[in-house]
Amino acid sequence: MQDDNDFREVVMGDDNKPGDTLDNKDGNNVNPDNNNSNKENNDYEDVCFVCRRPESKAGKMFHMPNNICICDDCMQKTMDTMSRFDYGNFMGNPQFGNPQSEDKQDNNPGFGNFKGFPNISFVNLNDLMGETGIPNRQRLKKKKSDSESAPLIDLKNIPAPHKIKASLDEYVVGQEYAKKVISVAVYNHYKRVATKTMDEIEIEKSNILLLGPTGCGKTYLVKTLAKLLDVPLAIADATSLTEAGYIGDDIESVISKLLAAADNDVEKAEQGIVFIDEIDKIAKKKNTNSRDVSGESVQQGMLKLLEGTTVEVPVGANSKNAMVPLASVNTRNILFICGGAFPDLDEIIKERLHKSSGMGFNSELKDKYDKDANILEKVTTEDIRKFGMIPEFIGRLPIICPMQGLTKDSMVRILKEPKNAILKQYQKLLELDEVRLIFADDALEAIAEKAMKKDTGARALRSIIEEFMLDIMYEIPKDPSIGTVTLTKDYVEGTGGPIIDIRSDNITGRLEDYKEAAGGAG
């Protein structure tokens, strides 16, 4: 029979280095420095190469060459399978003969009639999963002990609500009520996370429901908030969520995206923010006889998620399968913000308000609320329930924040006031070509009027500017003598062109010399 060391060299491949073989007694490396010398400095958990369970669930790992880890259960099953195989009959069967190995038979009489293995090519472990043995996006960071764990935001460093709102004012125009509500909710949420408890009084979460027409700034407001607080943020779309067992994303995929945003750090993800957009798309379907797999059933599945529970989420994937590890995430300290346009909700509100209309001294006109631009401010939970959201779901979103639709004046402010306003972006682009870009006031009003007609909110502004800036961005690099470009209302409306000033340093210099010679006369 061949020596054990020779058998190990065949299995491990030609690139196996001396000192990397396994000890037969406990399965550990004889020389662990060769394989995992930086393990003490590694913040990630080991994941079993076979069952994909992390070290926190599977227990101690056996470290194979090339940084491949196998848990105790999988190693035991492998050894049991190998022990049941009849190697004697396999090696002594003459049908596996190889004419090229007849010379080796005389040198190794212990093989009997064995003339070589059948047509089997052993896998080189170097080529399996790269250097780490598992993709980085599927590696979990180790959990810290209770004494070492700390909140992302210290209680002393939590910004006050007025400071949060002041920071939001630099990026978001208007929506004063929504910014105030979100500032207070986030401030109270992270006080709750930082203190964990106050005099044994458990503080409940303040999940938020944002209502507003498309393009009013719901997603942008949440993105700006997470950027200012420097916390993990996951933005998910409710349209792809389906009931468990059906084609689509599971409900837990929302937490999986948050875990990926936190660099697979479970503790960091448990203190993050989840924004679920298009939440109105999972409303109950009306007058349908088929199974509602993307409506009410999704709301039912999200109840525990919003309230706070421990869920098993896949790491580095949207769905659970045997090839990805699973992580346990507690959603108790995760702030959920749901947003949706809720089309036709204004009609439900008007219908409720029109019930008080009639005849007499206290009657109201039926068309009183038809032209009310801020009709969503009068929304109640009853209106949302009639829209198709179940009462249990509404009850887990205690803060209902309606957002205002954009007016012409707010459109003009969005163009020029925020830190990263659209006009400032184009001015910066032309500054790189040493060209100054100026927008006339009447041009901004014309752009706002066009955006209002498209009825898509602030998203229409960029599409309009991209349209008439195309020729300017194409022609300016051709002529290096252009110094200033002024956009007018006629150019925006298509009845004229921009005002272009030529950069003429020599002419300017001669004019100044002429003024000095003439004694400063014009």
3-state secondary structure of 126: helix
Residues 398 and 453 in one domain: no
Total number of domains in the chain: 3
Give yes or no: residues 394 and 431 share one domain. Answer: no
C-beta atoms surrounding 422 within 10 Å? 19
130 and 167 assigned to the same domain: no
The answer to whether residue 248 is domain-embedded is yes
User: CA 185 to CA 207: how far, in whole Å?
Assistant: 8
Instruction: For residues 318 and 482, give the distance between their C-alpha atoms in angstroms, rounded to a whole number.
Output: 52
pLDDT in tens, 92-113: 555 544 444 444 444 544 444 4
What are the DSSP E strand ranges found in 107-227? 208-211
The residues near 371 (Cβ < 8 Å, ≥ 6 apart) are none
**Virtual CA dihedral for 90, 95, 98, 101, nearest 10 degrees?**
50
Is 101 a domain residue?
Answer: yes
Cα 489 to Cα 474: distance, rounded to the nearest angstrom:
20
Which residues on adjacent β-strands are paired with residue 198?
201
Residue 443 belongs to a domain: yes
Residue 146 corresponds to which amino acid?
Answer: D
Would you state the pLDDT for residue 36? 43
Q: Let me know whether 191 and 297 are in one domain.
A: yes
DSSP reduced 3-state for 269: helix
Tell me, yes or no, whether 111 and 242 share the same domain: no
Cβ(118)–Cβ(93) under 8 Å?
A: no
Domain end position, chosen among 105, 134, 163: 134
Same domain, 414 and 448: yes
Do 417 and 395 share a structural domain? Answer: no
CATH of the domain at 222: 3.40.50.300
Q: Are 90 and 2 in contact (CB under 8 A)?
A: no
Residues 415 and 307 in one domain: no
User: Residue 152 has what pLDDT?
Assistant: 60
List pLDDT tens digits, range 167-210: 999 999 888 999 999 999 888 888 887 776 555 777 778 899 99
Q: Do both 97 and 166 map to the same domain?
A: no
> Is 140 contained in some domain?
no
Residue 211 lies in a domain: no
pLDDT at 134 (0 to 100): 52
In this prediction, the residues of the chain whose per-residue pLDDT falls under 70 are 1-42, 85-155, 196-199, 287-288, 318-319, 321-323, 356-373, 504-522
Domain end residue (candidates: 100, 134, 168): 134
Evaluate whether residue 141 is within a structural domain. no
For tokens 């468990």, name the residue.
Answer: 244
Q: Is residue 347 part of a domain?
A: no
Question: Is the separation of the CB atoms in 211 and 345 below 8 Å?
Answer: yes
The residue segments making up the domain with residue 308 are 155-206+216-339+377-402
Dihedral pair phi/psi, residue 512, rounded to 5° = -65, -40
Question: What CATH number should be reported for the domain holding residue 494?
Answer: 1.10.8.60
**416 and 487 fall within a common domain:** yes
For residues 118 and 243, membership in a common domain is answered with: no
Q: Is residue 476 part of a domain?
A: yes
Task: State whether 393 and 487 are in the same domain.
Answer: no
pLDDT, residue 9, reads 41
